[in-house]
Amino acid sequence: MLQQDISKHIEALIFSSVQSISIQEINLALNSVLQEEYTETYILECIMMIEEKYKQDEFAIELVNLNNGYQFLTKKDFHETVNQLQLHRSKKKLSQAAMETLAIIAYRQPITKLEIEQIRGVNSDYSVQRLLEKELISMEGKAETPGRPILYRTSSLFMDYFGLNHLNQLPQLKDIAKDENAVGENIE
């Protein structure tokens, strides 16, 4: 099959995927349907062809490498327009408590609910449940402590939603701490 035809299959796979799709997942799907094995290098060449195609001004979307995979996203010039639609549609936003819980999980993962509650100082049952429902976090297993509590971590959807490839791309706490939140004098 011609590389251009393979690229169309790959383009369809990326377009239809809700989350970023890896080269390995693309290869599995191609192999299942086309009954042919493709190298990662070949698939990457096809992806680069697709990427170049969508760099043209006539398209409002672009192909982006996210979370060790590929996904179609709106180009930055159209973010405000799409954001307006999302604002109108999003009736169930995350509460402040859920955002705090998500931040704690992101920075301290894997973490138990008890540890989250110790940091926040309040019960976090509802927040953890909402984050699980929205698939922003997932259960990783059980801690090796008495009672074997469930461990939570951020999910692939979290990585896609926040446009991250790696957790080390999260802002460092020292970068977002404000001096006005400090207690006492700053002596250097």
> What would the pLDDT profile of 154-188 be if each residue is shown by its tens digit?
998 899 888 888 888 888 877 665 555 555 555 55
Give the chain's domain count: 2
pTM value surpassing 0.85: no
Are both 172 and 139 inside the same structural domain? yes
Residue 156 lies in a domain: yes
Last residue of a domain, one of 78, 107, 126: 78
- Say what the pLDDT of residue 179 is: 55
Last residue of a domain, one of 49, 78, 107: 78
What is the mean pLDDT of the segment spanning 3-12? Answer: 90
Q: Which of 89-98, 113-122, 158-167 has the highest mean pLDDT?
A: 113-122
Last residue of a domain, one of 37, 52, 78: 78
Q: Does residue 176 or residue 83 have the better pLDDT?
A: 83
Tell me the residue range of the domain where 35 lies.
Answer: 3-78
Residue 36 lies in a domain: yes
Residue 32 lies in a domain: yes
Residue 125 lies in a domain: yes
Q: Residue 12's pLDDT band (boundaries 50, 70, 90)?
A: very high
Percent of the chain with pLDDT over 90: 65
Mutual orientation of helices 96-108 and 125-133 as an angle, nearest 10°?
A: 80
Residue 74 lies in a domain: yes
- Per-position DSSP letters for 77-137, written without gaps between them: GGHHHHHHHHHHH--SPPPHHHHHHHHHHHHH-SEEHHHHHHHHSS--HHHHHHHHHTTSE
Q: Does residue 27 or residue 93 have the better pLDDT?
A: 27
- How many Å is the Cα radius of gyration of the chain? 21
